Each structure stands twice: as structure tokens, then as C-alpha cells.
Amino acid sequence: MSQRKRLSASQNKAPSRSQAAVESDDEDDVTFTQLTSTQVQRARESFTPVQIDRKVAEVVQFVLIKDQRKVPIRRADIAKHVIKEYKAMYQDIMKRVCRTFEQVFGLKLVEIDSKSHVYILTNKLESLPEEPVSMVPTSPKYGLLFTILSVIFMKGGVVKEALVWNFMKKLRVDPGERHDLFGDVKKLVTDEFVRQKYLEIARIPHTDPVEFEFRWGVRAEKEVSKKKLLEIVGELFDQDPHSWTQQYREAAAAEASQR
Amino acid sequence: MTRPMVDSHRRFLQTMMSNGIIDGSQAEALHKHCCEAAGVNYSQDRLDEFIEVINIHLQPMFMHIRKGMSEDDGLQYYALVNLAETDVTRMSSDYADNELELFRKIMDLVAESENGTASSTDILNCGDALLSKKLKKKETEQVLNKFVQNKWLTEKHGEYSLSTRCIMEMEQYMRTLYQDLIKNCHVCDIIAFQCQMCENPDCGIRMHLPCVARYFRGRSDPHCPACNEFWPHEIPEIHRPLASQSQPSSAKENTAPRSTPSTSQTRRSSRRL
């Protein structure tokens, strides 16, 4: 009972019951939202600035490693693998981690799921044409992803799974066959890109046989410039980006909200 | 008084993170590009100063952009190195235990060799004697390919050597581990693996191949610069730096596929499509 009271008193929402049941790691999450301000105060006094600096560096490295594989980072994992006994200092440490990412790396740690506290790193710097050394060591995979995102965007934000597969077949990428560069194409698109939050896949209700549809994932929304995408599509079709009125409006709106 | 970082520094750092290592001329072009993109003053001769600003801010994160030399072409390179743990554990998230053990064995072979290389035959035999979990010949070959692809090793005619990036990252670790086995080049005073050695047992100095080429250029009768004994090795051809080392600029937005190996933990993979 007392536990529940403290939970509701704190700023952070505890994970919902169903999630806590599925992911046992979230138990860690619950414990550090229960800390009282006196506990935090005591912790601040018991760790030296050097110890805290070290922890900040460890969290930064941990996040960079996770981000390499584009795996979203869970707060519970940061707490369990890095923060450990510094749990009371979590908020202080994370504030400094965020500041370091912005000031030193030009990156932003964004919470994409406020319920289960999941983060991704996004870039604050714009990618520019004609870089002498690529800032993005592109794997061919991301060329494919960009194509899929373009199709979804040009089709108004959501497309049926079958449409994506048909489109890819036209590009001679058959989702049913093993591809030289992409391996198992179907798995790459429906599993890896979805896990990395570039794509979202959902079942279309009341369909028999079952059908699925694709949308942009949170990471794509944060990282991919719709305006640039439209410019590239415009170049491909030799058409003025303005001529796609709806897409142009959406791209401009997205651009404005990112500023 | 530390100079604050601005977007030009951040862009440079991000590019270092995604590439791991770039050569000197790439670094110069990148410096120019980053300054222009951020609309700040650019002066050609200030690259090292520019990098120093980044390094000051990276220091608390135990990271550093280090300048080094390639043992293959004698050119200068810049690599982003991790100082947090100077152990091969740095590679650990990408490799299994027995793969790491194999890498340590390869480092042993290289450190104990005279010319800084390990033959594929010797390495294949190591795979059979691993304590953690033995590797079959075929598996060892695959792991070796992975090491090369991820720029930890370089391969030439079945001989493996440590890559520039590997040496820059592991130098301190290997000095501690191998101590007297590690020697610096007599000419440039940088750690030397792929090298020639003076055969006078009282001397035994080492010189990088590009340093040998430069030092003995135009001399028909080469002698050791330390003990003056005859230099019995074949003098390699001098490497001519290419006019332009930079890669061809990619198509707009990098939609064109390009394969670049990437591993180092602190490196970032695709960002902003």
C-alpha cells in the first residue's frame, strides 16, 4: 500500500502491470522510481564527483555501443548494467549524459516510449551532400530502407505489405529469395527494420487471410528528412516536389516541428 | 580555459565515429567541409588545433582522436581510439570468447615475429589449440576474414599483420603485455611491427618498411644507421602518395550503396538517411 502511494507521488509513471510481467528487468525500473528526495540527497553526498564523472562516461559508452546496432535502449538496461549501485543518482547522471551527447557529439537522446522508458539516439546535425568522408557508412540495407520509406510516404503514410513486396520485386529484390546483399529480405524488413524502429508493422483488422500494413517507425520520423526525401523523389521523376501537394505540406510541417 | 565545441567539431567527431579511421588527406578535406557546413572560419593549417578542441571534450569519456602512421604506406592517419580499457575486451561485443582468444594468439605471433606478420598456416594451427572452444580450419578462416573486414588485421599473400587502427588502439596494451618484444622504429620512433631488423645481434634496431625506403633512397650500399653494419635486406620501393586520397563524393544523401566495414564499439552506424 505504502509502495503504491510513493509510486504515484513520484513524477515517473511505473510500468503497467502487463509489461512488468513480461519483462522482469522492469523490476529494477520500479525500485528506482520509488526513491525519496532524502535518499537522493544522501546519495549525492556519498559519491565523489570523480565517481559520478566515471559513471557518466560509462553510460555514454554504453548508449553508443547499443546505438551501433540501432537497438533501442531501455532505461532498465542502463540501470541494471551500468548505473547499478548509483541508482539514487540516476536522474543526475542522465541529465549529464544528455548534455554530453548534445554538446560533444551533436546527438540527442530521445525517449520514444514514455511508458516503458525506451530511448534512441538521433542526430542533431543535418546530413549534407558531397561529404568528403561519409558521415554515414551506409550499408546497402539502408538504401533498401530508404526506398521503402519513400514508397510509404508517397502513398500517404501507410501501405499494405503486399504493395511493398510487389514494389521490391520490380527492383529485382524478391522477398521470397535469399538476396546477395540483404540476405533474408523478408526478415530484414519485417523484423530488423521494425526492431530498430525504422518501420512499424500492424495487422489490418478484419482481414482473412490476415493482411499487414507498414508505417514509418519512430526512428524514421526522427531521423529521416521528409523534405529531402521528396526532393530526391522529385529528381527521380523529374518533377517539382511542390506538385505533390499533400506530401509537400507534410514535409514542410515536419521540417518546421523539428526546428 | 577550454574552447567550446561547435557544430564543425561535432560533425568531424561523428564522421570519425562512423569511420573509425581516416587518412591525413581525408582528415584535411573533412576539416574544410565541417567548417564550411557550420559557417565558421577555416584555416588549412589548424587541423591539429581543431582536433585538440575535440579531444579536450572527449577526455572525460576516455576517448581520443590519435594521429598515427600506416606501416604499409607510411602515410598519416587519424583514428578515434578508446582509452577506457586498453584490452581486446574492447572488441568483445562483436566477437565470441574463442574468437578473442584467437586474436590474442595472433598478436602473440606478430609480436614474436621478426617482421610483424603471422602466416595463415600458423594461425590455423592456433585455432586448433584454443582453450575456450576449438575452431575448425574453416571457422578460423571465417573469423580471420571478419578480423580483416572489420579492419583489425590486414592480409597480404597469406601473411597477416596488425592494421593501422589496431596498432593505434592497442599500442599501450601491447607494450604492457609484450614489453621488450615491442620496439620502436629507429627512424620515426613510432612502435614498429612490419619492419626490417638489423642482423647484428648487438644492434637489432628496427625500421618500418616505408622508413627504410625513405632512409636508403638513392644509396647503393646501405648500412645500419645505428651500428653501421651492412643492411642485408631488400630495400622496398618508396611509396608515392596518391594525388588525392579522398573517396569519390557519394551521391546525394548517400542513397547509393557503399559497403564500409564497421565495428568499433564507439563507431556509429547509419545515421540520418
Mutation target vs B (from A135, A180, A230; most B CBs, 10 A cutoff): A135
User: For position B224, which CATH number holds?
Assistant: 3.30.40.10
Q: Say what the ipTM of the complex is.
A: 0.73
Is there a domain that residue B164 lies in?
yes
The verdict on a CB contact (< 8 Å) between B19 and A56 is no
Q: Say if residue B78 is in the same domain as residue B28.
A: yes
Chain B contact set for A103 (CB, 8 A): 4-5, 57
Q: Which domain holds residue B135?
A: 88-172
- Residue B109 in grid coordinates: 605471433
All residues of chain A having their beta carbon less than 8 Å from the beta carbon of residue B266 are 61, 64-65
**One domain, residues B163 and B189:** no
Q: Annotate A135-160 with b (16+ C-beta within 10 A) or e (fewer).
A: bbbbbebbbbbbbbbbbbbbeeeebe
Whether this prediction's pTM lies above 0.80 is answered by: no
The CATH code of the domain at A47-138 is 1.10.10.1200
- List the one residue out of B161, B156, B69 whose CA is nearest residue B114: B161
Our CA-based measurement puts residue B73 at a distance from the nearest CA of chain A, in whole angstroms, of: 20
More confident residue, A131 or A97: A97
Phi first, then psi: what are they for B156, rounded to 5°? Answer: -145, 120
- Asked if A133 lies within 8 A of B19 by C-beta distance, the reply is yes
Q: Give the A window 78-97 contacts with B, CB below 8 Å.
A: none
> Are B271 and B14 a contacting pair, CB within 8 Å?
yes
Q: Which of these three, B83, B115, B142, is where a domain ends?
A: B83
Residues of chain A with Cβ-Cβ distance to B247 below 8 Å are 132-134
- pLDDT for B87-146, tens place per residue? 444 555 678 888 989 999 999 999 999 889 999 999 999 988 888 888 999 999 999 998
Residue B101 sits in the same domain as residue B75? no
B201 is a domain residue: yes
Q: Cis before residue A132, ω within 30 degrees of 0?
A: no
Q: Are residues B79 and B120 located together in one domain of the fold? A: no
| A35 touches A9 (CB < 8 A) | no
B271 within a domain of the structure (yes/no):
no
Residue B240 lies in a domain: no
Residue B75 or B246, more confident: B75
In a domain, B246, yes or no: no
Number of domains within chain B? 3
**CATH number, residue B147:** 1.10.10.10
CA distances A223 to A112, A228, B94, B273, Å, are 13, 11, 25, 7
Q: Please indicate, yes or no, whether residues B154 and B191 belong to a single structural domain of this protein.
A: no
- Summarize pLDDT for B30-79 with one digit per residue, the tens: 999 999 999 999 999 999 999 999 999 999 998 999 999 999 888 999 99
Restricting to A residues 2-31, those with a Cβ less than 8 Å away from any Cβ of B are none
pLDDT digits (tens, 9 = 90+) for A142-151: 889 999 999 9
Query: How much is the average pLDDT of B214-226?
Result: 89
Residue B261 lies in a domain: no
User: The CATH number of the domain where B42 resides is what?
Assistant: 3.90.1150.220
